[in-house]
Amino acid sequence: HPALALEGVGLRIGGARILDGVDLAVPSGELLGVIGPNGAGKTTLFNVVSGLIAPTAGRVRLNGDDVTRMPVHRRAVAGLGRTFQTSSLFGALTVLENVRQAAQARLGGASSVLRRPRGADAATTRAREALEEVGLAHRAGQQASGLAHGEKRKVEIAMLIAAEPSVILLDEPMAGVGSGDVPAITEVIRQLHRGGRTVLMVEHHMEVVLGLATRVAVMHHGELLAAGTPEDVMANPTVQQAYLGEAV
C-alpha cells in the first residue's frame, strides 16, 4: 500500500468546489512537494488528510486503511502528524515540556488516565532524542516563548518526531522564517525524511521545494493539475499556464 492515498477527494462548501476529484498516491518514504497559487486548496487538502475537514466525496487511506471518517486524534495515533502555517507552541512551557507533551500523547494514548512513572520517563527520553535530532538539545530548559522564530519551527518538528508519525504534513515550514534560517530548517526537514518518514510539504520557496522534494504535486483551483519529478512538472505547459498572472 502507499503510505497515503487520496481517491477522488472532493469538497463542496455551499456552491463552491474547494477540492475536486483529487487522486494521489504517496509511496512510503517519499518527500512530496505540494505547490500551487494561493487559494489553490493546499491547506484544505491537508485538513482533509488530517481529519479537520470531512470531504464531501472520495476517500483517504493511510497505509491502506480507509481513515476518511476517522477523527483527528485517532488519525494522529494511527501515524499522521502535521504542522500548521502558524506556530502551535505553548510559550509558557519549556522547550522540553512542549516536546514531552507530544511524546506523551503518543505513548500514553489520548484516553489513558492512569499513567505509570515509567511512561513519563519514556516520554522525557523520547523528547530529548527528538530535540537532539533537530539540534536543539541545549535549549531544552528554556521557555518556548523566548526562542527565535527559526528555533520555534525546529521545536515544532521535534514535537512531530516525538509523536513518531509515519506520514508527516508540513504546511509552509518556511513561513515567517528569516532567509538566514532557511538552510538550517531545510536540513532538519531533510533529516526528518532521511529517517524513512513519508513527508508532504506545502512550500512557496521554490528553491526549498526543488532542493528537498523527490516528487512535486501542483494544485490549482482545487484540482491536482500535475504530479511528477520537479523537472517534468516545471516544464509542463499546463503548470506554467496556471501560474501566469497569479500570486503565490
What residue ranges bind Mg ion (CB under 5 A)? 38, 42-43
Which one, 42 or 139, has the nearer CB to Mg ion?
A: 42
Q: Which does 104 bind (CB under 5 to 8 A by kind): Mg ion, ligand ADP, none?
A: none
* Separation of alpha carbons 15 and 17, rounded Å: 7
Residue 120 beta carbon to ligand ADP: minimum distance, rounded to whole angstroms? 38
φ/ψ of residue 102, rounded to 5: -65, -40
Q: Could you tell me which of 147, 141, 144, 111 has the C-alpha nearest to residue 124? A: 141
Q: Scanning the structure block, which residue is given the C-alpha cell 512557496?
A: 204
Q: Which does 176 bind (CB under 5 to 8 A by kind): Mg ion, ligand ADP, none?
A: none
Residue 13 beta carbon to Mg ion: minimum distance, rounded to whole angstroms? 16
φ/ψ of residue 137, rounded to 5: -55, -35
Q: How many CB atoms lie within 10 A of CB 163?
A: 23
Residue 121 beta carbon to ligand ADP: minimum distance, rounded to whole angstroms? 40
Q: Which does 36 bind (CB under 5 to 8 A by kind): ligand ADP, Mg ion, none?
A: ligand ADP
φ/ψ of residue 198, rounded to 5: -90, 130
Q: Which helix (H) or strand (E) holds 59?
A: strand 57-62
User: What is the amino acid identity at position 203?
Assistant: E
Q: How many CB atoms lie within 10 A of CB 51?
A: 21
Which one, 151 or 203, has the nearer CB to ligand ADP?
A: 203
Residue 238 beta carbon to ligand ADP: minimum distance, rounded to whole angstroms? 17
Give the bridge partners for 6, in sequence order: 24, 60
Q: Which does 10 bind (CB under 5 to 8 A by kind): ligand ADP, Mg ion, none?
A: none
Q: Which does 40 bind (CB under 5 to 8 A by kind): ligand ADP, Mg ion, none?
A: ligand ADP
* Separation of alpha carbons 130 and 126, rounded Å: 6
Residue 34 beta carbon to ligand ADP: minimum distance, rounded to whole angstroms? 9
Residues of this chain that interact with ligand ADP (CB under 6 A) are 13, 18, 36, 38-44
Which one, 18 or 234, has the nearer CB to ligand ADP?
A: 18
Q: Which does 230 bind (CB under 5 to 8 A by kind): Mg ion, ligand ADP, none?
A: none
